[in-house]
């Protein structure tokens, strides 16, 4: 196993943000441990948050040719940086931890153009006024239309 600093350096170079995304502070300085912990706790019932390298290893083990780095760079899956590592909410995957949930992708695509990964991950993990203070991550599997409407409303409030 690599030393943590070597792995973090590799993750940073492989999983760089695409040019179209807004530049953000990716060092974690503005995202303290309490914020990260809150996001992680919100995702816990739906599989938690995993380190990108762990997910990549899982995909390699099934040898289906899928590349997590390709999906991250193309923004086909939600990921975010925190403390120089790339993290992936597992709520976007089926119970097998590998197949993408179409309902999650629908909501992600509503928000992806106007928010970076951290903002979207936080959006899913935060109580929403549009959803009677429920968190989108908790409702996405049971009430997709409401979550989509909340995403559209929040995007409209953000960008007009």
Determine contact, residues 81/7, Cβ cutoff 8 Å. no
pLDDT at 63: 53
Per-residue pLDDT tens over the stretch 18-44: 333 333 444 444 557 889 999 999 999
| Mean pLDDT for the stretch of residues 69-90 | 84
pLDDT at 120: 94
Percent of the chain at pLDDT > 70 equals 75
pLDDT at 119: 93
Q: pTM above the 0.85 mark? A: no
Number of domains in the chain: 1
Listed in sequence order, the residues at least 6 apart from 88 whose beta carbon sits closer than 8 Å to its beta carbon are 49, 50, 51, 52, 55, 68, 72, 77, 78, 79
What three-state secondary structure class fits 18? coil
pLDDT at 55: 81
If we measure between CA atoms, which residue out of 87, 70, 74 comes closest to residue 28?
87
Q: How far is it, in rounded angstroms, from Cα 154 to Cα 62?
A: 38
| Residue 89, domain extent | 4-159
Higher pLDDT, 82 or 14: 82
């Amino acid at each position: 196993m690599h030393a943590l600093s070597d792995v973090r350096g590799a993750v940073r170079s492989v999983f760089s943000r695409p040019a179209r995304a807004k530049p953000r502070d990716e060092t974690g300085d503005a995202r303290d441990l309490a914020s990260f912990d809150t996001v992680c706790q919100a995702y816990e019932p739906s599989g938690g948050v995993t380190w990108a390298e762990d997910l990549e290893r899982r995909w390699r083990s099934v040898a289906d040719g899928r590349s997590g780095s390709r999906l991250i760079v193309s923004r086909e899956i939600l990921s975010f940086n925190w403390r120089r590592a790339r993290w992936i909410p597992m709520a976007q995957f089926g119970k097998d931890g590998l197949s993408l949930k179409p309902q999650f992708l629908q909501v992600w695509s509503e928000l992806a153009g106007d928010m970076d990964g951290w903002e979207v991950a936080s959006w899913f993990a935060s109580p929403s006024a549009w959803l009677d203070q429920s968190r989108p991550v908790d409702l996405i599997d049971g009430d997709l239309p409401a979550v989509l409407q909340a995403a559209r409303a929040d995007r409209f409030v953000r960008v007009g």
